[in-house]
C-alpha cells in the first residue's frame, strides 16, 4: 500500500486538456518506484506521463520494449498487476485503469528491466530463427528434456498458486438488439434502436463511451464531438429498455446469436467492495447484433521498429488528446495513409517538434496534407524509415527515399509514430462464421456475408469517416429494431462533421531487407522469419502461423497478422486474398478463468446430496466420503477416537465383525429407486432385464441385470413387485440418473406402445439395511403391532409393508452383505425416526451402524459385483452370471451375446484372489501377469478390480479380479503387478465367494 | 450454444439437453427374428454426414422428453425439431 503525500509532478503531461481529472491525483508504483497519475489514466498513460518508456522485455529475444498502442491490441506493454493472491500477469498496461495504490511490475527480465541478462538471446538471434527450437532440440535426449528450460527462458509473467480471494458471477441476458462498441457508430445504433422501444444492450470495452472520439479532435455539428457523446449517453440513460455496460468486452460470438462478454466490475479498484464480484460473465442472447467494434491500426516492418518510442500513430493521438500527454519532444511520423498528416497536426498542436512526415506513397495531394503544409510541417514523399537508432529508447532514425535506400539521412528524434493503415476488427464477425473479403482500396479485410443475425457498421466495416460511422450506426440501429418488430420512426439526419478530403492508402508492409524488421512484436517474429518459412515450404498461412508462431501470442496478432500474411503473399507472388488469413477465435482478449467459473468453485462446484439420516451420522461419529454427489458415512469413530489410519482400520474391522456376528445398520438411501407402474410394466421389465421378470409374484423381489444394446452389462439391482401393475426398481448409486434416462428412452422412443409410467423416487425414500444374525430379532422388536416377520411370513426375497415408530415402511428381505438382512424404506422425512427406532430396538442385540468401507469388504467377501467389476467391458459370462440370462425371451442386448469376441474362451472372467504369502495387500488396479520378470511388453492376463485390504471374516487380504481363463484356473498362481508403486505380489486364484458360498446365512 | 426448440417447452438453450444419439437408426422391429447383421448395423454403424443430420436430444433438465432434431452438423443450424416419431425431413 502506498501512504504519504502524493507528488503532483508529471513531466510529460500537457498543461491543459485531456479526459483526466486533475483534481484527483493517484499514486502508484512500477517496479517498486513511486509515480503519480490522475483519475482517468491507464497504467500506460500514467507511465508515459512520468517519462517511463521502457516497460517490458520481449518474449524470445528479451529486447527492450515500450508502450506501442493505447488499446486492446497492445503486444509489448504486458505487466504484472497487484501482488500476492491477486497478482495478475500479462496484463496490457494500455487497458489497466489506474487506481490509487496500484502496484505494477515488469516481467520476463532478470535482474532488472534495463539490464536483462537474457538479452544475450538478441545477440544470438541469427540462430534463434523460426523453427530453431524444433530443429535443435528434437534429438538426444529429447524435446521434453529441453522444454522446461526453454520455457523458463522464454516466458511471460508468473501467476499465483494461492486461491483467488475474489468472487465472480455469471449473468444471462436476452435483448432484441445488442450493440458491441460504444464509439460513434455504436452510439448511433443504440440511439435509433433504443428510441424504438426495443430491448437494447450496448457493451463498451473501456470505462466510458465515445470510442475513437475520445482520442481525436473531431467536431459534430460544430461542437466538440464529446459533447455529442454526452448527449447520447444522457439520452440512452433515459431510455427504459436500454442497458449500457461499460468496462465490458464482448469476447466471443457463438451459435444462435449468443455473445459472451466479461464485465470488469471492480478491476479499476484496489479490491472489490464487499459483496461485489471482481468480474461478471455475461451470456447475452440477442435478436440482432450490431458490430461497431472499430478498427485496429497496423505498423510497418522496418529495422528495429520495436524500440521503446516507436508507437502506433493512432495511439500517439490518444495519448495527446485523451490523456494530455506529450509522448516525445522530437517526432518523426511515417505512414502509408493520411493519418500520418493528422498525427503530425496533433503533435504540432501539443507542442511536439515534428521533424518530418515520411509518406511511403508517391507525391500526391489531399486536404490533410494541405493542412500540414499550412502548419509548416516538413513532408517527405516516396520515402521510409530504414532504421531506428537507440536501444532502451529511440535516439533517432534513418530516412531514405524508396528509390534510393542507400541515401539514408539520420534524424535525431525520441518518438516515431507509425501508421500502416487500419484493419477493421472483424473478430466477432468471423467468430460467427461470417466471411471476410479483401478490399484493395482499403488494403484490409472487411466483413463479407454474415452467417448469423449481425451487421458490421462504421470502422468495423472499413467506413472510417465520422460521418460514415454515424449514418451507418443510425441505419443499422433502426433496421435491427425493425427486424425485431419495433417501429423506429424517422431516421435522424447525419450530423455535420469536419471531413477533410483524404487520399487513399497505398499498401506498404515492410522496408527493404534489413534484419530485425519486426512483424509480430509479442512473439518476436520478423520479416526474415516469414521469408524463411516460405523458403522452407511453410507457405500456407496456417503453416506459417504454427512454424513462426505469428499471431499466437495473447494479442492474437491484432497488429501483425495482416503484415505477416501480406509478406507471405509477396514471397509467393500471389495476391493477398489468394493467400488468405487465419481465422480469429474467441476470446477477443484474454478472459480470467475465474470469470468462466463464476460461482462454481470449491464446494459450490457441484451440489452436495445428503441422505435423510445425515445429521444422525454426523452426530454419531461418521467420517463422510464423497460418492458421486452424495456424502456417505465411510466408517464411524468412537467419541475419543482420532481420525487416523490405525483407528480407521479398527473401526472398519469392528463394523464388519459386529455385522457378521451380531447386527449392523447401514444407510443405503443413495441407491436409485424408480417407481414403475402400468398394465405393461411386467412386459417392460422383462424386455429391460436379461433375466425373466414375468413370473415375479406380488410381494417378491428379484435381482435383475440390465445389459446395454451391445450386450455388455450395464447395471444391476433388485426390483420388487408391490402390486398387480406396480414395481419398484433399484439401481446402483452411480447409474441412478442414467437408468432413469434409459427407461425414458425405451418408453418414449423405442416402445411408445407400452402402457407404462416411470418416476424417480430416489429422494422420496430413505433406505437402510439391517443386516446380521440378529437382524430379525431387531426388526421384530421394532415393528408396531407385532407384525409377523418370521421366515415363513417374510422369506428370503420377500417384500412386505409394516409400521415402525408409527411410520409406514416397506421391508425387503434382500442382502448385499451376505447376512440375514432386511432393507427398510421409509418416507424420507421420517427416515431418521425409523433409523433411530431400529437403533433403539437393536441396542440389546449390540447393533452398530456401519459405513461404506465395511459394506464394501462384506460384498467382496461374498463376491458381489459393483461398478468396479461392471466397468463397461464385462459380459454376463465374464461376471460369472451367464446362467442368469433368460433363454426363453429376447431382452436388451440379447442379440449381441453370440458375438465371437464375447465367446472367446480367453476372455478374462471374474475370480477371487488371495496373496500367496497370506498377508500382502493386493491393490485394486494391479495388472495380472504370468511372470513379472518377463521382458516388456508382456501379455496381460487380467486385472484386480476390487480389494479388501483386511477381511476380518477370512483373516487375510482378499481381492476380486478378472483373469484370462477365469474359474478354470482356480488354484493356480499368477502375479499382481503395480508398477507405479513397484509392487509384485504372487496371488492365488480362488472362487470369488469367500464367505458362505451356499448362502445359508442370508436364508437363515 | 445452439438453441433447440422442444415441442413441449419451446426454444431452450442446449445446456438443458443431453445428446441422445443418431435418430436415423431404428432398433430392429422384431428382436426375436433380427439377425446378427441387423444388430451389428443398429449398434455399431453410424454415418458421419457433413450437413443435415437427424438426432435425438433428451430434454434432461426440462420436461425429460426425448426430442427429434434435424441439425446441420456443419453450421450447427437446427433445421427442425419434433416428437420422436415425427418425420422431420418430410417436405424439406
Q: Shortest CB distance from A749 goes to which of B3, B44, B66?
A: B66
Decide yes or no: CATH 3.50.50.60 for domain A168-295+424-483. Answer: yes
Euclidean distance between CA atoms A878 and A903, whole angstroms: 10
Which runs of E-coded beta strand occur in A844-905?
848-849
A882 near A876, Cβ under 8 Å? yes
Residue range A513-591 forms a domain whose CATH class is mainly alpha
pTM, to two decimals? 0.90
Q: Shortest CB distance from A258 goes to which of B1, B18, B64?
A: B1
Asked if the model's pLDDT at residue A380 lies above 60, the reply is yes
Q: What is the pLDDT of residues A904-917, one digit of tens each?
A: 999 999 999 999 99
Which of A282, A710, A737, A895 is the best mutation test for B, with the most CBs of B within 10 A?
A: A895
Euclidean distance between CA atoms A567 and A570, whole angstroms: 5
A665 near A677, Cβ under 8 Å? no
| pLDDT computed for residue A936 by the predictor | 83
Report the CATH number of the A299-420 domain: 3.50.50.60
**What is the percent of chain A with per-residue pLDDT over 70, rounded to a whole number?**
96
In a structure prediction context, what are the per-residue pLDDT tens digits for chain B, which is 92 residues long?
A: 899 999 999 999 999 999 999 999 999 999 989 999 999 999 999 999 999 999 999 999 999 999 999 999 998 999 999 999 999 987 66
Q: What is the pLDDT of residues A538-596, one digit of tens each?
A: 999 999 999 999 998 888 899 999 999 999 999 999 999 999 888 899 999 999 999 99
Q: pLDDT band at A429, cuts 50/70/90?
A: very high
The number of beta carbons lying within 10 Å of the beta carbon of residue A417 is: 30
Euclidean distance between CA atoms A307 and A64, whole angstroms: 7
Q: pLDDT band at A136, cuts 50/70/90?
A: low
Q: Taking residues A929-952, what's their average pLDDT? A: 93
Tell if the CB–CB gap between A256 and B3 is shorter than 8 Å. Answer: yes
User: Which of A219 and A134 is assigned the larger pLDDT?
Assistant: A219
Q: Shortest CB distance from A898 goes to which of B2, B36, B66?
A: B36
Average predicted confidence (pLDDT) for chain A: 94
Q: What is the pLDDT of residues A1-26, one digit of tens each?
A: 444 555 557 999 999 999 999 999 99
* Residue A287, all three cell numbers: 435478436
Q: pLDDT band at A940, cuts 50/70/90?
A: very high
Q: What is the pLDDT of residues A848-876, one digit of tens each?
A: 999 999 999 999 999 999 999 999 999 99
* Residue A255, all three cell numbers: 451459435
| pLDDT computed for residue A770 by the predictor | 98
User: Which of A150 and A993 is assigned the larger pLDDT?
Assistant: A993
| pLDDT computed for residue A135 by the predictor | 66
Segment 5-24 of chain B within 8 Å of chain A by CB: 13, 18, 20
* Residue A697, all three cell numbers: 409374484
| pLDDT computed for residue A118 by the predictor | 76
Q: What is the pLDDT of residues A185-209, one digit of tens each?
A: 999 999 999 999 999 999 999 999 9
Residue A60, strand partner residues = none
Sheet of strand A821-827: strand arrangement: A799-804, A807-812, A821-827, A765-771, A664-667, A848-849
Closest CA to A756 of A743, A770, A774, A738: A743
Nearest chain A CA: its distance from B52 CA (Å): 16
Tell if the CB–CB gap between B75 and A433 is shorter than 8 Å. Answer: yes
Is the ipTM of this structure higher than 0.95?
A: yes
User: Is A255 an interface residue toward B (CB < 8 Å)?
Assistant: yes
Tell if the CB–CB gap between B56 and A451 is shorter than 8 Å. Answer: no
Report the CATH number of the A666-857 domain: 3.30.1360.120
Tell if the CB–CB gap between A895 and B3 is shorter than 8 Å. Answer: no
Q: Shortest CB distance from A745 goes to which of B13, B28, B66?
A: B66
Which of B43, B44, B45, B86 is the best mutation test for A, with the most CBs of A within 10 A?
A: B43
Tell if the CB–CB gap between A255 and B1 is shorter than 8 Å. Answer: yes
What does each C-alpha distance from A978 to A741, A857, A927, A936, A986 come to in angstroms?
Answer: 37, 21, 6, 14, 12
Q: Taking residues A365-392, what's their average pLDDT? A: 96
Residues A845, A850, A855, A858, CA torsion sign: negative
Asked if the model's pLDDT at residue A71 lies above 50, the reply is yes
Residue ranges per structural domain of chain A: 21-137, 168-295+424-483, 299-420, 513-591, 609-660, 666-857, 904-1003
Determine the 3-state secondary structure of A778 from DSSP: helix
Asked if the model's pLDDT at residue A151 lies above 80, the reply is no
- What residues in B contact A895, CB-CB < 8 Å? 28, 31, 34, 36, 38-39
User: Is B65 an interface residue toward A (CB < 8 Å)?
Assistant: yes
| Domains with residue ranges and CATH for chain B | 3-28+36-82 (3.30.2270.10)
The number of beta carbons lying within 10 Å of the beta carbon of residue A288 is: 24
Q: What is the pLDDT of residues A505-533, one digit of tens each?
A: 999 999 988 889 999 999 999 999 999 99
Asked if the model's pLDDT at residue A154 lies above 60, the reply is no
Nearest chain A CA: its distance from B91 CA (Å): 23
Segment 507-536 of chain A within 8 Å of chain B by CB: none
Tell if the CB–CB gap between B43 and A433 is shorter than 8 Å. Answer: no
| pLDDT computed for residue A1 by the predictor | 45
Complete DSSP assignment for A474-541? HHHHHHHHHHTT----SPPPPPPB-----PPP----B-TT-S-BEEETTTTEEHHHHHHHHHTT--SH
Q: What is the pLDDT of residues B1-11, one digit of tens each?
A: 899 999 999 99
State the first-to-last Cα distance of chain B, in angstroms, to the nearest integer: 25
A176 near A288, Cβ under 8 Å? yes
* Residue A159, all three cell numbers: 501467476
- What residues in B contact A251, CB-CB < 8 Å? none
Report the CATH number of the A904-1003 domain: 2.40.30.110
| pLDDT computed for residue A981 by the predictor | 93
Segment 33-52 of chain B within 8 Å of chain A by CB: 34, 36, 38-39, 42-44
Q: Do domains A21-137 and A666-857 have the same CATH topology?
A: no
Q: Tell which phi-psi region holds residue A846, choosing left (phi > 0), alpha (psi between -120 and 50) or beta.
A: left
Asked if the model's pLDDT at residue A144 lies above 70, the reply is no
Decide yes or no: CATH 3.40.50.720 for domain A21-137. Answer: no
Q: Taking residues A683-708, what's their average pLDDT? A: 97
Amino acid at each position: 500500500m502506498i501512504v504519504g503525500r502524493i507528488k503532483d509532478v508529471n513531466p510529460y503531461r500537457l498543461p491543459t486538456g485531456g479526459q483526466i481529472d486533475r483534481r484527483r491525483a493517484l499514486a502508484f508504483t512500477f517496479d517498486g518506484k513511486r509515480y503519480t497519475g490522475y483519475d482517468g489514466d491507464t497504467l500506460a498513460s500514467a507511465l508515459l506521463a512520468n517519462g517511463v518508456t521502457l516497460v517490458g522485455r520481449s518474449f524470445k529475444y528479451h529486447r527492450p520494449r515500450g508502450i506501442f498502442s493505447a488499446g486492446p491490441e497492445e503486444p509489448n506493454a504486458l505487466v504484472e498487476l497487484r501482488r500476492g493472491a491477486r497478482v495478475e500477469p500479462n496484463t496490457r498496461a494500455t487497458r489497466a485503469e489506474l487506481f490509487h495504490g496500484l502496484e505494477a511490475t515488469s516481467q520476463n527480465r532478470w535482474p532488472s528491466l534495463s539490464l536483462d541478462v537474457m538479452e544475450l538471446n538478441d545477440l544470438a538471434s541469427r540462430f534463434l530463427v523460426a523453427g530453431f527450437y524444433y530443429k535443435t532440440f528434437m534429438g538426444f535426449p529429447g524435446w521434453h528434456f529441453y522444454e522446461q528450460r526453454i520455457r523458463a527462458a522464454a516466458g511471460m509473467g508468473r501467476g499465483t498458486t494461492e486461491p483467488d480471494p475474489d468472487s465472480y458471477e455469471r449473468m444471462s441476458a436476452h435483448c432484441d438488439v445488442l450493440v458491441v462498441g460504444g464509439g460513434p457508430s455504436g452510439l448511433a445504433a443504440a440511439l435509433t434502436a433504443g428510441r424504438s422501444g426495443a430491448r437494447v444492450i450496448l457493451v463498451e470495452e473501456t470505462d466510458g463511451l465515445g470510442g475513437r472520439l475520445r482520442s481525436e479532435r473531431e467536431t459534430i455539428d460544430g461542437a466538440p464531438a464529446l459533447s455529442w457523446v454526452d448527449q447520447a449517453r444522457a439520452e440512452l440513460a433515459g431510455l427504459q429498455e436500454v442497458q449500457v455496460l461499460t468496462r465490458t468486452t464482448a469476447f466471443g460470438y457463438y451459435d444462435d446469436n449468443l455473445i459472451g462478454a466479461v464485465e470488469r466490475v471492480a478491476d479499476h479498484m484496489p479490491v472489490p467492495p464487499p459483496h461485489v464480484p471482481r468480474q461478471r460473465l455475461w451470456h447475452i442472447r440477442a435478436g440482432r447484433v450490431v458490430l461497431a467494434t472499430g478498427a485496429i491500426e497496423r505498423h510497418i516492418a522496418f529495422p528495429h521498429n520495436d524500440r521503446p518510442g516507436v508507437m502506433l500513430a493512432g495511439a500517439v493521438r490518444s495519448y495527446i488528446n485523451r490523456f494530455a500527454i506529450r509522448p516525445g519532444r522530437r517526432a518523426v511520423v511515417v505512414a502509408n495513409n493520411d493519418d500520418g498528416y493528422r498525427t503530425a497536426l496533433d503533435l504540432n498542436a501539443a507542442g511536439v517538434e515534428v521533424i518530418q512526415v515520411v509518406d511511403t506513397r508517391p507525391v500526391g495531394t489531399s486536404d490533410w496534407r494541405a493542412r500540414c503544409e499550412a502548419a509548416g510541417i516538413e513532408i517527405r514523399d516516396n520515402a521510409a524509415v530504414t532504421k531506428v537508432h537507440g536501444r532502451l529508447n529511440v535516439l533517432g532514425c534513418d530516412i531514405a527515399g524508396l528509390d534510393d535506400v542507400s541515401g539514408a539521412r539520420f534524424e535525431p528524434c525520441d518518438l516515431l509514430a507509425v501508421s500502416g493503415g487500419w484493419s477493421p476488427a472483424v473478430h466477432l464477425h468471423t467468430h460467427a462464421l461470417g466471411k471476410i473479403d479483401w478490399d484493395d482500396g482499403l488494403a484490409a479485410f472487411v466483413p463479407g456475408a454474415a452467417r448469423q443475425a449481425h451487421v458490421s457498421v462504421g470502422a468495423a466495416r472499413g467506413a472510417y469517416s465520422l460521418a460514415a460511422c454515424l449514418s451507418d450506426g443510425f441505419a443499422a440501429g433502426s433496421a435491427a429494431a425493425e427486424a425485431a418488430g419495433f417501429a423506429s420512426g424517422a431516421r435522424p439526419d447525419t450530423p455535420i462533421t469536419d471531413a477533410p478530403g483524404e487520399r487513399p492508402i497505398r499498401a506498404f508492409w515492410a522496408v527493404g531487407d534489413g534484419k530485425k524488421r519486426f512483424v509480430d512484436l509479442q512473439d518476436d517474429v520478423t520479416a526474415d522469419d516469414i521469408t524463411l518459412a516460405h523458403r522452407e515450404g511453410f507457405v500456407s498461412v496456417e503453416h506459417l502461423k504454427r512454424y513462426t508462431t505469428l499471431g499466437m501470442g495473447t494479442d492474437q496478432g491484432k497488429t501483425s497478422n495482416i503484415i505477416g500474411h501480406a509478406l507471405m503473399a509477396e514471397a509467393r507472388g500471389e495476391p493477398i486474398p489468394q493467400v488468405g488469413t487465419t481465422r480469429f477465435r474467441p476470446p477477443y482478449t484474454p478472459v480470467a478463468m475465474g470469470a468462466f467459473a463464476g460461482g462454481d468453485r470449491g464446494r459450490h462446484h457441484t451440489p452436495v446430496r445428503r441422505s435423510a439420516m445425515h445429521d444422525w451420522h454426523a452426530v454419531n461419529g461418521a467420517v463422510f466420503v464423497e460418492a458421486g454427489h452424495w456424502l456417505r458415512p465411510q466408517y464411524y469413530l468412537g467419541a475419543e477416537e482420532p481420525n487416523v489410519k490405525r483407528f480407521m482400520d479398527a473401526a472398519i474391522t469392528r463394523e464388519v465383525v459386529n455385522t457378521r456376528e451380531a447386527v449392523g445398520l447401514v444407510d443405503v438411501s443413495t441407491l436409485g429407486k424408480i417407481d414403475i407402474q402400468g398394465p405393461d410394466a411386467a412386459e417392460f421389465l422383462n424386455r429391460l432385464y436379461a433375466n425373466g421378470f414375468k413370473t415375479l409374484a406380488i410381494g417378491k423381489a428379484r435381482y435383475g441385470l440390465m445389459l446395454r444394446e451391445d450386450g455388455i452389462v450395464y447395471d444391476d439391482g433388485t426390483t420388487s413387485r408391490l402390486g398387480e401393475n406396480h414395481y419398484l426398481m433399484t439401481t446402483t448409486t452411480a447409474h441412478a440418473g442414467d437408468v432413469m434416462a434409459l427407461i425414458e428412452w425405451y418408453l418414449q422412443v423405442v416402445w411408445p406402445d407400452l402402457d407404462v409410467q416411470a418416476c424417480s423416487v430416489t429422494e422420496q425414500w430413505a433406505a437402510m439395511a439391517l443386516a446380521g444374525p440378529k437382524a430379525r430379532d431387531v426388526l421384530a422388536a421394532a415393528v408396531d403391532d407385532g407384525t409377523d416377520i418370521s421366515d415363513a411370513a417374510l422369506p428370503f426375497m420377500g417384500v412386505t409393508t409394516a409400521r415402525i415408530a408409527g411410520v409406514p415402511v416397506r421391508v425387503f428381505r434382500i442382502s448385499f452383505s451376505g447376512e440375514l438382512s432386511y432393507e427398510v424404506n421409509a418416507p424420507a422425512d421420517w427416515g431418521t425416526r425409523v433409523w433411530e427406532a431400529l437403533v433403539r430396538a437393536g441396542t440389546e442385540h449390540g447393533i452398530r451402524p456401519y459405513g461404506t468401507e465395511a459394506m464394501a469388504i462384506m460384498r467382496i467377501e461374498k463376491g458381489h459385483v459393483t461398478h468396479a467389476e461392471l466397468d463397461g467391458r464385462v459380459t454376463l459370462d465374464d461376471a460369472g452370471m451367464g446362467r442368469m440370462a433368460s433363454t426363453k425371451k429376447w431382452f436388451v442386448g440379447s442379440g449381441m451375446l453370440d458375438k465371437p469376441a464375447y465367446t472367446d474362451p480367453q476372455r478374462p472372467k471374474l475370480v477371487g484372489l488371495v496373496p500367496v504369502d497370506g498377508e500382502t495387500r493386493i491393490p485394486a488396479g494391479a495388472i495380472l501377469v504370468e511372470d513379472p520378470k518377463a521382458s516388456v511388453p508382456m501379455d496381460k492376463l487380467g486385472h484386480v478390480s476390487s480389494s479388501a485390504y483386511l477381511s476380518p471374516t477370512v483373516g487375510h487380504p482378499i481381492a476380486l479380479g478378472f483373469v484370462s481363463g477365469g474359474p478354470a484356473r482356480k488354484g493356480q498362481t499368477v502375479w499382481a503387478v503395480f508398477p507405479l508403486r513397484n509392487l509384485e505380489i504372487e496371488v492365488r486364484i480362488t472362487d470369488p465367494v469367500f464367505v458362505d458360498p451356499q448362502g445359508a446365512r442370508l436364508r437363515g | 450454444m445452439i438453441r433447440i426448440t422442444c415441442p413441449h417447452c419451446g426454444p431452450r438453450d442446449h445446456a438443458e439437453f443431453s445428446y441422445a444419439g443418431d435418430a436415423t437408426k431404428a432398433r430392429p422391429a422384431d428382436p426375436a427374428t433380427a439377425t446378427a447383421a441387423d444388430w451389428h448395423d443398429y449398434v455399431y454403424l453410424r454415418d458421419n454426414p457433413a450437413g443435415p443430420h437427424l438426432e435425438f436430444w433428451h430434454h434432461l433438465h426440462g420436461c425429460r422428453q426425448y426430442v427429434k432434431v434435424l441439425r446441420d452438423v456443419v453450421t450447427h443450424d437446427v433445421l427442425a425439431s419434433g416428437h420422436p416419431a415425427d418425420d422431420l425431413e418430410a417436405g424439406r
